[in-house]
Amino acid sequence: MFLFFHSMLCLNLGLGLASLASAEDRLPINKILKHPTDYQAQVVTVEGHARAVSSLPVHRGTPSCGGGSVYDSQVFALQDKSGTIGISTTGACRPNVIKPVVQSEHLRVRGMVMAEQNDPKGTPLIYAHSIDRVAP
C-alpha cells in the first residue's frame, strides 16, 4: 500500500513540475521573429490572442490520416505584446473533433517553428502541436 501512495505522490509531483516548466518556457514572439534561424525546427511555446482566423477546406493526403480526409484545419495569427506570428493547425481525421479557434481567443500554443524556404524573407510560422485556451 505504501508503494502505491509513494508512486502516486511522485507522479503528481512530476506532473506539477512539468506544468510549471511549460508555463515558464513561453517565448515572446519577437524573439522568434528577430532570430528565426535560432528557432528553426525547434518546439516552442507562445501565448497571445488569435487574429485573422481562417478555416481551411477539407483536404486529403496527410500521412497522419492515412491519406484520408483532414477536417478542421485552421491558420491564424497569434499576437502578443511583442509581435505577431502565423500559426497552422493540423486538423483531425474526423469532422468536429477539434474545438475551432475563434477571433480574439487567448491561447497558449506549443509547436514547431519553421521558416518557409520559398519565402525570401524567411518569415517563420509555428505548426501547432497543441493549443490550450487560457482563462481571461
Q: What digits encode the pLDDT tens for the residues 8-35?
A: 434 444 444 444 444 558 999 999 999 9
- 24 neighbors 45 (Cβ within 8 angstroms): no
Most confident listed range (9-18, 59-68, 124-133): 124-133
As a whole number, mean pLDDT of residues 66-95 equals 95
C-alpha dihedral, 40 to 46 to 74 to 121, nearest 10°: -40
* pLDDT value of residue 24: 57
Task: Give 134's Cβ-side CA count (13 Å radius).
Answer: 14
Strand partners, 92: 71
Question: Would you state the pLDDT for residue 115?
Answer: 86
Contact 124, 38 (CB under 8 A): no
Tell me which amino acid residue 32 is.
Answer: I
